[in-house]
Structure 1
Amino acid sequence: MHPMLNIAVRAARKAGNFIARNYEIPGSVETSQKSINNIDRDSERLIIEVIQKSYPQHSIFSKESGKIAGEDKDIQWIIDPLDGTINFIKRLPHFSVSIAVRTKGHTTVAVVYDPMRNELFTAVRGQGTQLNGYRLRGSTTRNLVGAILSTGFPCKSKQHAPAYINALAKLFMQYADFRYSGSAALDLAYVAAGRTDGYFEIALKPWNFTAGELLVREAGGLVTDFTGGHDFISSGNIVAGNPRVVKSMLFSIRDELSERLKL
């Protein structure tokens, strides 16, 4: 196993077990903002401790702590300690730990761990995607007819709501069906596993999608921004799926995009 993947798996499992224990203890989950932040922070602390024990010189970019500079600026760990926080709070058992490693601007290692189902999605650049040790390939759906697409509503970017709703309607009219799970990392992992055929979302943060993006690509899929380019790293606007589905999605939504979503 790739040495950094080994550490990422160890960190994800440790944090995932902590999250699962807190989910399963009656009365341990409260809906206050303070308790939400505590779960996120404690999970993140466990992950960072594991990483820094083996790689103290590496940089870290995490949801709660922001950027932690290390001596080695070429390697950066990107962490979402609990992707799907609202699901966790509402006791909907669909959330994940997401960890990625970027080396000189390229995502090289990815882990997305679902502690409730004990599903560990992993990828190493150039070595494919796996689920619990078994190789994954994305779907072979050829067009949007009968395709299952996942998405997330831009709740924190409501200025994009009209364009998003129009794009959603356009895809729906192409006979696509939709799922909304509340965890971007698992949405992308499911695309990699062929459980869904495509995915799109607006204004994600790097910790939401960096690991999932590598899972999709290493499973034979394609990840682009809304214009078919590669600016999703900065914009957070993502379309993912197998190449045929992505092409069909981009073609369908291109006339519905606002000028801001084309940047």
Structure 2
Amino acid sequence: MSNIREIKRRIRAISNIQHVTGAMKMVAASRLRRAQSRVWAARPYAQKTAEVAGRLALSPNAQTLPLVASREVKKTAYVLIVGDKGLAGAYNANLIHLTEDRLVKEGQPAGLVVVGRKGLQYFRRRSVEILKYYVDIGDEPDLSLARELARQLMDIFLSGQVDEVNLIYARFISALRNIPQVERLLPIETPSVEGTETIDYIYEPEPVGVLEAILPRYCEVKVYQALLEAKASELSARMVAMESATKNSAEMIEQLTLSFNKARQAAITTELLEVATGAEALKAQG
């Protein structure tokens, strides 16, 4: 009987967990729809901004601008964008391991700017220089946060504290797939012109003046897009993880129910045998 009570207790506990994971899956799916819409809406603008900035960076005097000029890389900054919460499968772990791998392979000193509590909790216990950190981002990254982060990154780069700034985040592909990747933010990357048709645009004022004006906006947009992509990827990973947990709970309940029925049947059989044995004993005595 104690075994039966233990199985019933486990079934009840797993059923409660199943209700929680099912609710979390529905919440994540609802938030994912909004996050996905923001990603699709912002991506064309971010791509066009990067294209225009890249073309302007090819102009003859563009290398005079500090945000464009390449220099010897003595120290690199990595901006890691992860979640504030767990229960998202391997989402946070994959990004943290990618960052750790880049830091290990880095041939020169490197610093870390962490966006997300999970990344801060992990790297705070490691011998890694944390330049800045941001936590409690929420499910809807605000443009003001992107502006603040972009301004901090530009200040770090312009002050000479670092010579290169890279973003590490998960690019959102679909509700079932995201790709952890590393993208350079500063200095600005110039597109390859080999094998492509070059168009001679006319800029007013001169290209360097236009580039100098849009570079801060370019950094803000790129950081904002990375935050949106990361949040959509996190929510999709959480939705998939909670769906998997709900299915696993149902399988465990099914297995435990079968074990419960077997144990109950064995207990009933044992009681019937005891009653029959007792009756036969009474007959023998009579």
Compute the TM-score of the two structures, normalised by the length of structure 2.
0.26
Query: If each structure's strand is expressed as a fraction of its own residues, which one has the higher value?
Result: 1
Query: If each structure's helix is expressed as a fraction of its own residues, which one has the higher value?
Result: 2
Compute the TM-score of the two structures, normalised by the length of structure 1.
0.28
